Structure 1
Amino acid sequence: MLNINNQTTPLISLLMFCITLTFSSLSTATSIKDVDHQEVTVWSQGVRLAADIYKPKGLTADQKLPGILLVPGWGGSKENLKKNYGPHFAELGFIVLAFDYKSWGKSDGPILPSKALAHSEEAIKLDINVTHVRKVVEPFSMLADVRAALHYLGGEPQVMPNNLGIWGTSLGGGLAMIMAASDDRIKVLVDQMGPVNYVHNLREMPAEMARKIETLTARGILPPYPDASMAKNPALKGYPNWAAMKRFNPMNYVDQLNVPTLIIDAENETLFDRTQNGVLLHNSIKDRLEAKYIVYPGGHYDLYKGDNQKSAFKEASDWLVKYLK
């Protein structure tokens, strides 16, 4: 693990390590006996999102704890966060919310009518054929889901509404960064392998191409939602809206970010250039914020398993405890 904490230490080598965690409860989800789990519905732009809330057992009605919002990555869902994240953060004395994006997991997706609807001035019930759209990767829609989930968490009776943390992984790291920069209820950010610089990441896609895609979509020549033809990388599930991705750039919010920020990266990241994402973000904030940058050996998906996952969770939990408690 390479640790840069408000320093300009060069990224020269990784220190191979063996670490023993005292969190014996991390082994399986079924070992979490002191956490309550509740399934709830979050509404985002008129669509039902499936969500999970984790709380320490035995809370009284008048007890209040800090809240943590977990933001999944590209194609991720709350199920991916159940084993190693959600209940384990709750064990540390937080109320935690995880959710599925629109059209993913157990959440509803957009509804596409098979034909134009009859005109009506008021809301009416219709019996029509529709397509239930699934697995769309659209960052602005996802950002609306993150915002709705944050509002839900802040409204939970036992949550301190102005003492919230946000943890995001992969695409969720960039979404979490935007929320941390734009909502003053958030007091701490953990960005795990978050691509935050789409100007660089999609530099090979001309802006004119993105505009053409949006023009053809607006005119009904391209389908209203991306389909399998837009899936270019077999390692990434779902159907991305590349034109929207081209306009999406979390680094536009870096000057507004003013909370302690932990950035965790994989040394051999292959989905994007970490020097132009996590390293760039750290260098942009380290002289004015509490900031810490950590690199773990392996590739993107190696941070979700084994010692990497356990150690990264320990770093994240220590960071959240420090700045929320």
Structure 2
Amino acid sequence: MTIWSQGVRLQGDLYKPKNLTAEQQLPGILLVPGWGGVKKNLEKNYAPHFAEKGFIVLTLDFKGWGESDGPIVATEALEKTEEAADITLKATHFRKMVNPLSMSEDVRAAIHYLGSEPQVMPNNLGIWGTSMGGGLALVTAATDDRIKAYVNQMGPVNYTYNLQAIPDQRVRGAEAMVARGQLPSYPGPQGQNNPLLRGYPDWIAMKRFDPMAYLDRLTAPTLIIEAEQEELYNRQKNGVLMHQIIKDRIESRYIAYPGKHYAMYSGDNLEAGREAALQWFLKYLKGQ
């Protein structure tokens, strides 16, 4: 189905338990993908497992990823009109951007879609985010009181620390060049610095993204899952620090599993992490 975010069509999938009747209402869970931005990574190993335990689960592709549309930018100035008008134009369709500010808006749109689904309890929602999606989910969990349970699986949240090697002055200069048309508004291959990660990071948006700033607004019970040998970020300055900040104020738990980042997506770690998240949602969305 189509989810609209900032005027762009996103594609999402809903998973429901078998034998669900039209009159039933169940808690909803939004699954937020990571850097790669596509729902297919969650369709086999996560969404069906949560749905069969009595939840309605929504996944999505971010703007410019998977089956979702990306932003369109005209390649030349448009004819001036006073009102909206249908036009024919030549434009560039941008794909595979990694912009957490834009992605946060996609997550917000998806939670509104899920909360308005007729068979979903509108004020009893959960949110789960993996890798980059963990920080995106934090922003939404902290700003929407319908969310009653939050799971952060290996999500970096401390972008101020993680991106300290990029000077603020350098970013300010890049923003000025974008404003003057000297750099493209959307990133492309020229900004990619890690061949192991798909897509094109928007470093200006990355530097402005600050999930930790939302921690004082977070009230949803929070489960943090990390890898003991996490290699993509410093977990002591991310998940561990996050837990230290919130543990005396809200219901929370921190778990670290052996192995590196991508080991969480297969084998024993996949099963253990998924089960821990499931039990968290059962407890705080179903009271079990």
**Match of 1:282?**
243
TM-score (norm 2): 0.98
Bigger drift between 307-316 and 56-65 goes to 56-65
| Partner deviation per Cα, 1:4-55 (whole Å, 9 max, x = no partner) | xxxxxxxxxxxxxxxxxxxxxxxxxxxxxxxxxxxx1100001000000000
**Which residue number corresponds to residue 141 of structure 1?**
102
Write the letter of the residue equivalent to 1:86. Answer: A
Structure 1 segments unaligned to the other structure (5+ residues): 1-39
> 54-63 vs 303-312, which deviates more?
54-63
Distance in 2 of aligned mates of 1:274 and 1:121:
52
Partners of 2:181 and 2:105 in 1: CA distance: 24
Between the aligned partners of 1:215 and 1:316, the Cα distance in structure 2 is 43
Runs (4+) off by over 3 Å: none
- 1:87 aligned onto 2:65: no
| Equivalent runs, 1:196-275 vs 2, <5 Å | 196-275=157-236
- Paired with 1:268 and 1:235, the residues of 2 have a C-alpha distance of 18
Residues 93-140 of structure 1, C-alpha deviation per residue, up to 9 Å, x if partnerless? 000000000000000000111111111111111121111100001111
Moved more, 101-110 or 291-300: 291-300
Question: Can you list the C-alpha shifts for 1:213-267, whole angstroms capped at 9, x where unaligned?
Answer: 1111011000111111111111211011101101111000111111110000011
Where 1:184 maps in the other structure, the secondary structure is coil
Letter aligned with residue 81 of structure 2: S
Q: 2: CA distance between counterparts of 1:91 and 1:199?
A: 39
Match of 1:152? Answer: 113
Q: CA deviation at 1:76?
A: 3.1
> Partner residue of 2:143?
182
Alignment of 1:100-179 (within 5 A): 100-179=61-140
Other structure's SS at 2:31 match: strand
Instruction: Report SS of the residue matched to 2:121.
Output: strand
Structure 1 residue 145 displacement after superposition: 0.2
Secondary structure of the 1:255 match is helix
Partner amino acid for 1:228? P
Q: Which amino acid is 2:34 matched to?
A: G
Q: 2:272 aligns with which of 308, 311, 314?
A: 311
State the partner residue of 1:71: 32
Identity rate, percent: 62
SS in 2 for 1:223: coil
User: Counterpart of 1:18?
Assistant: none
Matched positions, count: 286
